[in-house]
Each structure stands twice: as structure tokens, then as C-alpha cells.
């Protein structure tokens, strides 16, 4: 097929058999991932924390991090301006991960109780020690009575919420009381 530029310039295209054309081998690029060290000025999720020097691709640093002010080059002045994260920061992040895992785990747990209903419509109450025992039997969750925050015993059928304090944080535990 003749291109417009070759027609204008008066060139005659080379006539070759395209079925027997050899493939050109491109040498392997050892520079495909050429990292550059940058100092992060903000917490960047999976990339790193504020004050860390991390290797990133040149294009990522040049096109995203540096123009938006999310990172700077790790010069001595910038290292003084953005000190590396301390041990307390890492402990705080680890504690937050544990709390997120506990929230996800406790949010999906429902402890079921079966109670006999007496002719007057009353049931035997559900107490803290019963909740501790059922939590271990049903979900292998080790609780203490002091961790459970209940104003009074559960004396009605249906779904109830109970506050549980673990690692200094409050979680909601769902209790389902059903008829036997």
C-alpha cells in the first residue's frame, strides 16, 4: 500500500514479498525497571510512609509523585525536613491492622442461644459467663467476663448487640436468642 508521503515525494516503494520477511529481534532491555530513590512527604499506602526513602520507577516519580508534592529527592536538607518514621509509628500501624482484623472477625460472628419459653412467656436469662462459654464453643473466641459490657442480662428472644472491649477498643458482638 502506498503511503501519502511516498507519493508526494515521488518515491517508489520497495517491492518485497511480505510473507518471507524476517522478524527483527529487539535486544532485551535491562533498563525496563530503572528505579529512582525518592523521599516520601506523605503516607502513600502500599508505596511507603512519610519520611521513608523508597525505590520507585522513574516515570512514576517524574509523572505522579514529584509534581504532586508527594515525594522529593533525598537530599540532606530534605532528610532533615522529613525525618524517617519512628518505632512508635510502626507500632501504631501494626495495632491498627490488628484492630481492623478483629473488627472484621467480630463483625461476622453471631452467637446463638436456644432458650425454653415458659408458659408465662419468660425465658432463662443470658448472662456474661454464658456468652463467654458460647463464644469459645461456637467460634473459639477467648473472652473474659470483664471484657463484655452489658447493662443487664438478656431476657427476651430476638437479636441483641453487646459491646466487647478488646485491646482497648470497643466492638459490637451480635447475640441471637431463639426458641428451643
Residue 29 has a pLDDT of 59
pLDDT digits (tens, 9 = 90+) for 17-36: 556 556 565 555 555 567 89
Q: What is the mean pLDDT of the chain?
A: 84
Residue 24 has a pLDDT of 60
1 pLDDT more than 60: no
134 neighbors 128 (Cβ within 8 angstroms): no
* Rounded average pLDDT over 39-56: 92
70 pLDDT more than 90: yes
**Quick check: pTM over 0.75?**
no
Amino acid at each position: 500500500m502506498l503511503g501519502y508521503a511516498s507519493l508526494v515525494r515521488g518515491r517508489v516503494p520497495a517491492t518485497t514479498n511480505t510473507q518471507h520477511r524476517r522478524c527483527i529481534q529487539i535486544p532485551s532491555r535491562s533498563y525496563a525497571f530503572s528505579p529512582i530513590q525518592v523521599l516520601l512527604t506523605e503516607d502513600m499506602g502500599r508505596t511507603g510512609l512519610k519520611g521513608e526513602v523508597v525505590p520507585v520507577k522513574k516515570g512514576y516519580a517524574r509523572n505522579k509523585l514529584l509534581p504532586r508534592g508527594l515525594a522529593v529527592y533525598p537530599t540532606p536538607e530534605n532528610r532533615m525536613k522529613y525525618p524517617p518514621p519512628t518505632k512508635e509509628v510502626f507500632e501504631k500501624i501494626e495495632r491498627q491492622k490488628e484492630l481492623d482484623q478483629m473488627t472484621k472477625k467480630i463483625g461476622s460472628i453471631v452467637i446463638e442461644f436456644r432458650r425454653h419459653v415458659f408458659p408465662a412467656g419468660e425465658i432463662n436469662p443470658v448472662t456474661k459467663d454464658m456468652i463467654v462459654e458460647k463464644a469459645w464453643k461456637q467460634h473459639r473466641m477467648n473472652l473474659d467476663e470483664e471484657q463484655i459490657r452489658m447493662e443487664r442480662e438478656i431476657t427476651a428472644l430476638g437479636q441483641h448487640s453487646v459491646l466487647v472491649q478488646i485491646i482497648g477498643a470497643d466492638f459490637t458482638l451480635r447475640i441471637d436468642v431463639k426458641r428451643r
